[in-house]
């Protein structure tokens, strides 16, 4: 097993692992969107013991965590979100999911200044709930009724990342002998919008009831003809 950060070339086999294991699936572009927006946050577990089948062999992905930063946090607090996590049935009980999660959490704090990480999990998924709550220390925030396409409810769970933040700050203090770096609320702010139609995040579907902002201007070609300030979107 090799646990390492995701590379774009892994994506077809990540997508494969996802659709083989889970009912929530996404277009390749949605994985690209993660990989190109927050390349530090997504990790894969690779089966390194498998011999190459041809000169064009791609490492077999047996587990992955696909993670992001919340672009417009409703609570105004920088935080990460787990879009999808899966480990092949054939590679369970090796602690892979936990290891993937811990790597991602570390990077969320280091690179994007995340304060906490959130996720959704099916209320019936006992194994996953056990991992999140008992192994990783997530707390159940609330239950979202009919969150999944098939009508199942989701637990919305959160993990406070301050232990990681504090450890990093301590490390920096020791290293630099400097004073404590100032806290900032707006660190690592992201301004870009999602690209095109990026697959089917169940969350995105939820949002469809609200007015959907249609991408204008650039994407379509004749934006400059209109006096329209894109930054206002």
194-223: contacts with other proteins (CB under 8 A): 195-196, 214, 216-223
Pick the stretch among 12-20, 136-144, 158-166 that binds other proteins (CB under 8 A): 12-20
Q: How many other C-beta atoms lie within 10 A of the C-beta of residue 46?
A: 19
Taking CB under 8 A as the rule, does residue 88 contact other proteins? yes
Nearer to other proteins, 95 or 137 (CB): 95
Nearer to other proteins, 86 or 141 (CB): 86
Here's the x/- map for other proteins, 127-166, by CB under 8 A: it reads as ----------------------xx----------------
Note the Cα 195 to chain centre separation in Å.
16
Nearer to other proteins, 141 or 171 (CB): 171
Taking CB under 8 A as the rule, does residue 7 contact other proteins? yes
The two beta strands, 116-122 and 60-69, are: unpaired
Nearer to other proteins, 77 or 141 (CB): 77
DSSP-H helix ranges across 113-189: 126-129, 162-176
Residue of the chain from 12, 77, 130, 142 that contacts other proteins (CB under 8 A) = 12
Q: For 53-91, b where at least 16 C-beta lie within 10 A, e where not — what string?
A: eeeeeebbbbbbbbbbbbeeeeeeebbbbbbbbbbbeee
* Nearest of 155, 189, 216 to residue 69 by alpha carbon: 189
């Amino acid at each position: 097993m090799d646990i390492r950060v995701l590379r774009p070339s892994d994506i077809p086999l990540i997508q494969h692992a996802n659709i083989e294991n889970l009912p929530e699936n996404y277009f390749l572009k949605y994985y690209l969107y993660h990989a190109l927006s927050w390349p530090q946050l997504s990790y894969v577990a690779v089966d390194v013991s498998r011999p190459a089948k041809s000169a064009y062999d791609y490492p077999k992905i047996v587990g992955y965590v696909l993670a992001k930063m919340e672009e417009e946090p409703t609570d105004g607090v920088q935080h990460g979100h787990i879009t999808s996590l899966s480990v092949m049935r054939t590679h369970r009980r090796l602690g892979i999911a936990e290891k993937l999660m811990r790597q991602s959490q570390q990077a969320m704090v280091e690179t994007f200044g995340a304060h906490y990480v959130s996720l959704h999990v099916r209320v019936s998924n006992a194994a996953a709930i056990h991992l999140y709550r008992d192994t990783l220390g997530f707390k159940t925030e609330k239950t979202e009724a009919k969150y999944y396409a098939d009508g199942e409810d989701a637990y919305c769970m959160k993990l406070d990342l301050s232990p990681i933040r504090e450890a990093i700050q301590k490390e920096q203090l020791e290293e630099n002998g400097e004073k404590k770096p100032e806290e900032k609320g707006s660190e690592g702010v992201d301004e870009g919008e999602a690209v095109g139609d990026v697959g089917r995040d169940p969350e995105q579907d939820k949002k469809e009831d609200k007015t959907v902002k249609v991408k204008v201007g650039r994407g379509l070609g004749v934006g400059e003809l209109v006096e329209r300030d894109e930054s206002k979107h």
